[in-house]
Amino acid sequence: MLGFQTPVIVFGGTAIVYLVIILLTLRKRRFGSWLNGLFFLYLVISIVWVTGKAMGVTEGLVPLVPLYGILIARNAFAILPILLAVLTFLFFERKGAQNAGVLGAICVLVIAIVDSNLFNLQNLLQASLRLRAPGQVVFGLVFLEWAGFTGGALVLAVMDYVRIQRPLHRNRILYWVTATLLIGLGEGLTMLPDAWLTQVGAVVRMSGVGLIAYVMLTYYLPSVRAATRRFISLGLITLVTAGLFLGSFVVLQWAIASLPSGYVVVGAVIVSVLVSIVFQPVRSAAARLVDRFVIGGSYDPAHALREYSAAITSILDLDTLVTMSMGTISETLEVRRGALLLTTEHDDGHVDVRVIPGMGEVSIRSAEFDPHSPVLSHLQQARQPLSQYEIDVLPELRLAPLSERAWLEQLNMELYVPIRHQTLLVGILALGSKAGDAPYTVQDHDVLSTLADQTAVALQNARLVSDLKKLNAEMVVLNEELKHMNRRLEKLDAAKTHFIQIASHELRTPLTQVRGYADIMADAVKSERPTPAQVAQISQGISRATIRLEEIISAMLDVSEIDTEALSLYRTPLSLMSVMRMVTETHQNAIKQRKQTFTVESMDDLPNVQGDSQRLFQAFSNIVGNCIKFTPDGGSIRISGRRLTEPSGDGVSTEYVQVLIADTGIGIDLDDRELIFEKFYRVGSPDLHSTGSVKFKGAGPGLGLAIVRGIIQAHGGKVWVESTGHDEINFPGSIFHVLLPATTKVVES
């Protein structure tokens, strides 16, 4: 007869429980992630295992059933610890789940090979280990594999418990550790030869698996620590009240023994009345004491909130408000770290989160949150505090962008309390863990929400004041900039007015010369025939004057081309050294005339530039010409070059050639360093300028450097001047810098 013995009922019963767990798991969650899928597999194999176990203990009609049962149970049992280890790796989000899986598969394969006695392996091992009973080798291997993987899973869980400080996370890990312990203990018991212990083991294991299912299906787990404390406190209170009864019992016993029989009843009545009077106060006193020492001191939230509310009404400064709110929180809830996160929504929907440290060390910088950040929307809508535990565990919050989660992780807070003004999220109180790493209670959540509500208006006011202050500071800067701009415009305006004077002066001088020479010629023709020497002198004068006229007119045309961006360049690869040679030749006479020293160095090894040689000659010639003019007789002008490399980010660097033209002249004031590159601008009064291309301080119409800037910029380059100031006694000198892109690109190694 097929016996429905107790073991069959026990194993069958556990199989049904596993099935119920499967159904619950399926109902509660979709099997999307690896963790859930593997847990499903774990449950299925658990059912196969206990079914095998149940088959193994049947006695009766079908002779092969127990044999197959033992085989099924053994094979299924070999897989279970591996799955438990992999599940633990995945649950703690540790790397190595894959490796554990592969190692497990190898172990199962080895056991299967030995079990099937392939290559006579089992017999060989049995003989070499001198084991007598058959199957001992396989049992030994399964035991080792079980001990290794179950122990590994347990060690991993305990390590995480030690590593992680957050109370709610630790609570969850504690559940996992307990579950692993129960599973390990249960499986260990099922391996013992005793039939009863095997059944107890199956039930213990089942409770462990049930606990794992509970942890995976439930996010809000009751606090193990709080439950233990409550249990201890209940025990202590019971102990105290039991003591009271015990005392009265001893007194009664004494009364029975020593008082005459008539007084015993009176004594008993007195004792009972006394006990009933003191029972309640003693019990409450005991409860209060135990609560204080075991559960931790309680506080009066109403009082703290009243005081806080009164204190913050007049605060208009953000930092003071933060200090105040953090102070209250730290006093009432014994929180050690905290900050205020100020949220500002941008036009594009992104939310700027600025950290204002409040207490403890908070060293993280501000962040930008996604417009659809689940964490922020949760805080905005839920009104309730949100814990870091929820951010890490709840599926809808785990969808938050990785950068946001990493930032919150780095902030290392335990609780986020939204501060809402009307429906707008204006800030968040971010709080670290409480003293002794105690978790926040429901009462704490309520207190913090009320405190956040009270803070909202004050925070909004403080933010407005802070914005106003910032605006004010910006206005001061703007005002300064405006003044500077004004000065610059005034100078430019003056330059334009001067230009008319200068242009008329510049143009009239050569014109007058031409006219003068023409008159001389006419007089000479009228009175007597002019000599060839006279004619030569007159024509030279006329030619010099017209050349000057031509120069001025072409400078004006150049400037107008630059203005209309019509400057056309004929660019070829060229060496700046060749340009410098032309410049040197052109100014040779002037330099000699002014007894100046002129040197060109480190220009030979420079890379080529893609440039218009005529225009670059014109630019450098203008600069050098100015240097000659604004350096006293006997001074020096030095030209040098160097190459510069600037990384452009994509692994390729841009090479530049920098030419420095330094003189020992009168120098340029800070205010004029930019302006001299504007057209018509010349330093100082136009009356003080003498006309002439080489004379000391002999200025032109104020177009030379404007042309230089136009040409260099058209080549993709930059020009600027460095000087400590204008000083016609000490001659501080000026250095003109010209930066031009080289034709070569450098690939960074």
Q: Rule CB under 6 A: choose which of 47, 73, 342, 683 binds ligand ADP.
A: 683
Q: Does 621 interact with ligand ADP (rule: CB under 6 A)?
A: no
> Quick one: 304 or 699, whose CB is closer to ligand ADP?
699
The binder of ligand ADP chosen from 418, 734, 738, 742 (CB under 6 A) = 734
Choose which of 312, 417, 703, 719 interacts with ligand ADP (CB under 6 A).
Answer: 703
Beta 424-431 vs 415-421: how paired, if at all? antiparallel
Binding of ligand ADP by 184 (CB under 6 A): no
663 touches ligand ADP by CB under 6 A: yes
Stretch that binds ligand ADP, among 5-13, 447-455, 562-570, 696-704 (CB under 6 A): 696-704
Nearer to ligand ADP, 459 or 699 (CB): 699
Is residue 657 a contact residue for ligand ADP (CB under 6 A)? no
Chain centroid to CA 745: how far? Answer: 34
Residue pair 507/549 in contact (Cβ under 8 Å)? The answer is yes
Q: Quick check: helix, strand or coil at residue 562?
A: helix
Pick between residue 172 and residue 726 the one whose CB is nearest to ligand ADP.
Answer: 726
Nearest-CA neighbor of 282 among 242, 248, 239, 241? 241
Contact segment (CB under 6 A) with ligand ADP among 36-44, 355-363, 400-408, 623-631 equals 623-631
| CA-angle at 605, arms to 604 and 610, nearest 5° | 90
Instruction: Kindly state the smallest distance separating residue 583's Cβ from ligand ADP, in Å.
Output: 14
Q: How far is CA 204 from CA 40, 157, 201, 210, 211, in A?
A: 19, 19, 5, 10, 11
Smallest distance from ligand ADP to CB 705, Å = 3
Residue of 508, 502, 510, 587 lying closest to 548 (CA atoms): 510
Answer yes or no whether residue 710 interacts with ligand ADP by CB under 6 A. Answer: no
Return the structure tokens found at 163.
């590593």
Pick from 208, 439, 510, 701 the residue near ligand ADP by CB under 6 A. Answer: 701
Q: Which residues contact 475 (CB under 8 A, 6 or more apart)?
A: none
Task: Kindly state the smallest distance separating residue 579's Cβ from ligand ADP, in Å.
Answer: 18
User: By CB under 6 A, is residue 682 in contact with ligand ADP?
Assistant: yes
CA 588 and chain centroid, separation: 61
Residue 435 is given by DSSP the state: G
The residue within the footprint of ligand ADP, chosen from 104, 358, 427, 704 (CB under 6 A), is 704
- Contacts to ligand ADP from residues 22-61, by CB under 6 A: none
Nearer to ligand ADP, 167 or 717 (CB): 717
Radius of gyration of the chain (CA): 47
> Amino acid letter at 183?
I
Q: What are the angstrom distances between the C-alpha of 606 and each of 569, 571, 580, 656?
A: 22, 18, 12, 9
Minimum distance of ligand ADP from residue 644's CB (angstroms):
23
Q: How far apart are CA 418 and CA 358, in angstroms?
A: 16
Taking Cα atoms as reference points, which of 397, 393, 446, 392 lies closest to residue 417? 446
Judged by CB under 6 A, does residue 603 bind ligand ADP? no
Q: Does 635 bind ligand ADP (CB under 6 A)?
A: no
CB of 326 to ligand ADP, least distance (A): 59
What is the rounded distance in angstroms from the CA atom of residue 255 to the CA atom of residue 578?
129
Q: Which CB atom, from 97 or from 627, has the smaller least distance to ligand ADP?
A: 627
Decide if residue 69 touches ligand ADP (CB under 6 A). Answer: no
Residues in binding contact with ligand ADP, number by CB under 6 A: 20
* 702 touches ligand ADP (CB under 6 A): yes
Could you say whether residue 431 binds ligand ADP (CB under 6 A)? no
- Give the orientation angle of helix 261-290 with respect to helix 224-258, to 10 degrees: 160
Of 531 and 685, nearer to ligand ADP (C-beta) is 685
Distance (Å, rounded) from C-alpha 658 to C-alpha 701?
A: 28
Of 605 and 687, the one with the shorter C-beta distance to ligand ADP is: 687
CB contact at 8 A, 597 and 637: yes
Which stretch, 119-127, 214-222, 399-407, 619-627, contacts ligand ADP (CB under 6 A)?
Answer: 619-627
Chain CA centroid to CA 162, Å: 27
As measured in angstroms, the least distance from the Cβ of 680 to ligand ADP is 9
Can you give the binding site for ligand ADP, defined by CB under 6 A? Answer: 622, 626-627, 630, 663, 665-666, 668, 676, 682-683, 699-706, 734
